[in-house]
Chain A
Amino acid sequence: MTQQFYVSPEQLMKDRADFARKGIARGRSVVVISCGEGIALVAENPSPSLHKIGEIYDKIAFAAVGKYNEFESLRQAGVRYADVRGYSYDREDVTARGLASVYAQSLGAVFTTEQKPFEVELAVAEVGASQEGDHLYRLTFDGSIADEHRFVVMGGQADKVSAAIEDGWRTSLTLAEAVRLAMGGLVRPAAGAAEPAGAAAPLPAGALEVAVLDRHSEATRGARRAFRRLNDADIAALLT
């Protein structure tokens, strides 16, 4: 019979957390940013079909970094949770807070009981009638949940991207400015790492995944569902 070595709980948790952090740090960054016209979600993602950003419900969107299979299963679980809740109660009763708390519990359970923790980091965003009504939640691999304001940055060089966006963020940002700010943040650290500063080429529209939760979708589009994915032409039009 093999003898199991004693590993202290602290060490066990630390090893798991390091493992998850390493996985997440390899990924490209995602920025979720609140602006005047709504909430912009910007991800560096060369694939046009494997999305990092998704619609959950009328006013709620999801963004993730890390392993695709893991966050995709969480996204689908979120859509199911929201649809069941909206169907059995009412559409109004589906909130980002409820969803984020379910995500936190699932991530926490996986972190402590499964063979390996999920190597993902999630953001759940809900657009409100005014900017004060916006909710941004950030969820990490161990089930920690943070209520953020203004913006959320996740993924590889989150700290550097975050610093860049912190500098440029204002309350009165328009959607175009918010997307430009997010792109500026995404491009800066990548260029800084590879070559001297100043040579940062902006990311082409094809390498970006951009979606927006429109604050006034009922008035502007006649749609209850605020989520709108921007295609390459939309992104190019927004940036010119």
Chain B
Amino acid sequence: MQESTANKVAAYATSSFTEHLQRERPELLPFTRALPTGAAVTAPLQVPHATTIVAMGYAGGVLMAGDRRATMGNVIASRHIEKVFPADRFSVLGIAGTAGIAIDLTRLFQVELEHYEKIEGTLLSLEGKANRLGAMIRGNLPLAMQGLAVVPLFAGFDTGANAGRLFSYDVTGGRYEEHEHHTVGSGSVFARGALKKLWRPNLTAAEALAVAVEALYDAADDDSATGGPDTVRQLWPVVYTVDSTGTRRVPDEELGAAARAVIEARTIAGREA
């Protein structure tokens, strides 16, 4: 059957950058290459892994924080890596897992959202953004099966509902809405334990920042793949907040003060565990 011109035009009318790449330039997608089968089963690839991300709601928004360490086996691959990124004006995402693929995936997701906005002239809904991210993670499933998994955490401000919302994912692209707070990555269990005690409803943004820094401190305390605040190199976690005015990267001065406060309190307490 011959396709009519109108059908063809309609089929090609996509607002998705990923779909466009799949059609025109599939080699540019981060997840189209399949590894030789069986390679990862015998010897896991030695590639940098990004670790702990924490996110939580506070009065009027959401906050996401990530430590600065990437590990490759027992080696610290990077002390400076950034794992939390603004996705667009009203959302942020943090990534845990294979750093190389995760960072490319983040870039793709950022372009995807901006592309939609430019083609359609309007922002994608928060649910729509969360679903698109899920589809991308599912696209990475073949690589995840071979040990190159990427697990994101997505947070955004829902301008319709006027509230901050949190979404977690599994490697198959399953999307789950989280309430109050959530963590991903190797140190996530320890960070989650800390959040359970430190988080309470209606925190202010400043209190939420202190809670996030302390939760990451606890994760770094027990997980070797998570980096704590580095007072020698002046390296602090990367923290973004999202509220009705948009995303904001918390400046280093505020982070340094929050990290020093945690270290000081722990030093005074002088406890062993």
- Stretch from B20-28, B31-39, B171-179 that touches the partner: B20-28
* Interface bin, chain A: 10 to 19
Chain B residues contacting A80 (CB-CB under 8 Å) are 17, 20, 115
**CB of A54 within 8 Å of the partner chain:** yes
**Does A76 reach chain B (CB closer than 8 Å)?**
yes
Q: Please tell me if the beta carbons of B28 and A88 are within 8 angstroms of each other in the complex.
A: yes
Instruction: From B21, B119, B121, give the contact of A84 (CB < 8 A).
Output: B21
Q: For A84, what are the chain B residues with a Cβ–Cβ distance below 8 Å?
A: 20-21, 24-25, 28
| Distance of B245 from chain A, by nearest CB (Å) | 11
Partner of B114, one of A51, A76, A83: A83
| Residues 68-102 (chain A) with a chain B CB within 8 angstroms | 76, 79-80, 83-84, 86-88
Q: Which residues of B contact A55 (CB under 8 A)?
A: 118
Would you call B115 and A79 a contact (CB within 8 A)?
Answer: yes
Distance, CA A62 to CA B119, complexed state (A): 12
**How far apart sit A36 and B111, CA to CA, in the bound complex (Å)?**
30
CB atoms of B111 and A87 under 8 A apart: yes
Closest to A55 in B: B118
Q: Mark A203-214, 1 if CB is under 8 A from B, else 0.
A: 000000000000
In the complex, which residues of chain A have a beta carbon less than 8 angstroms from the beta carbon of B25? Answer: 84, 88
Interface size of B by CB at 8 A reads 14
A218 CB, min distance to chain B CBs, angstroms: 14
Q: How far is the CA of A55 from the CA of B115 in the complex (A)?
A: 10
Residues in A with CB closer than 8 Å to B17 are 80, 83, 87
Determine whether B108 belongs to the interface, using a CB cutoff of 8 Å to chain A: yes
Are A51 and B121 neighbours in the complex by a CB distance under 8 Å?
Answer: yes
Contact yes or no, A54 B108, CB < 8 A: no
Once bound together, how far apart are the Cα atoms of A225 and B24, in whole Å? 25
Query: How many residue pairs, one in A and one in B, have C-beta atoms under 8 Å apart?
Result: 33
In the complex, A171 has a CB within 8 A of chain B: no
Q: Is B107 an interface residue (CB 8 A)?
A: yes
Are A83 and B115 in contact (CB-based, < 8 A)? yes
- The answer for the CA separation of A225 and B89 in the assembled complex, in Å, is 11
Asked if B119 and A79 sit within 8 Å, CB to CB, the answer is yes
The complex places the Cα of A80 from the Cα of B118 at a distance, in Å, of 10
Beta-carbon contact of A86 and B111 below 8 Å: yes
A158 to B13, CA, bound (A): 32
Closest-CB distance, A124 to chain B (whole angstroms): 15
Checking A49, A56, A87 against B107 with a beta-carbon cut-off of 8 angstroms, the contacting residue is A87
Q: Per-residue CB proximity of A146-176 to B under 8 Å, as 1/0?
A: 0000000000000000000000000000000
Q: Quick one: closest B residue to A54, CB to CB?
A: B118
A56 and B111 contact, CB distance less than 8 A:
no
Contact with A along B99-115 (1 / 0, CB 8 A): 00000000110010011
Q: How far is the CB of B35 from chain A (nearest CB, A)?
A: 22
- A175–B111 Cα distance when bound, in Å, is 30
Q: Would A56 and B118 be within 8 Å (CB), given that A87-B108, A87-B111 are in contact?
A: yes
B111 touches A49 (CB 8 A): no
In the bound complex, do residue B28 and residue A83 qualify as a contact, i.e. CB atoms below 8 Å apart?
Answer: no
| Alpha-carbon separation in the docked complex, A27 to B21 (Å) | 35
**Least CB distance, A81 to chain B, in whole angstroms:** 10
Residues of B within 8 A of A56 (CB): 118
Nearest chain A residue, comparing its CB with the CB of B107: A87
How far is B120's CA from A55's CA once the two chains are assembled, in angstroms?
11
Within 8 A of A (CB), among B100-158: 107-108, 111, 114-115, 118-119, 121
Q: Is the CB of A49 within 8 A of B121?
A: yes
Interface residue ranges, B against A (CB under 8 Å): 17, 20-21, 24-25, 28, 107-108, 111, 114-115, 118-119, 121
Can you name 9 A-B pairs with beta carbons within 8 Å?
Answer: A49-B121, A51-B121, A76-B119, A83-B17, A83-B115, A84-B28, A87-B17, A87-B108, A225-B114
Nearest first, the 3 A-B pairs at minimum CB distance are A79-B118, A83-B115, A87-B111
Known: A87-B17, A87-B108. 16 other contacts (CB 8 A): A49-B121, A51-B121, A56-B118, A76-B119, A79-B115, A79-B119, A80-B17, A80-B20, A80-B115, A83-B118, A84-B25, A86-B111, A87-B21, A87-B28, A87-B107, A88-B28
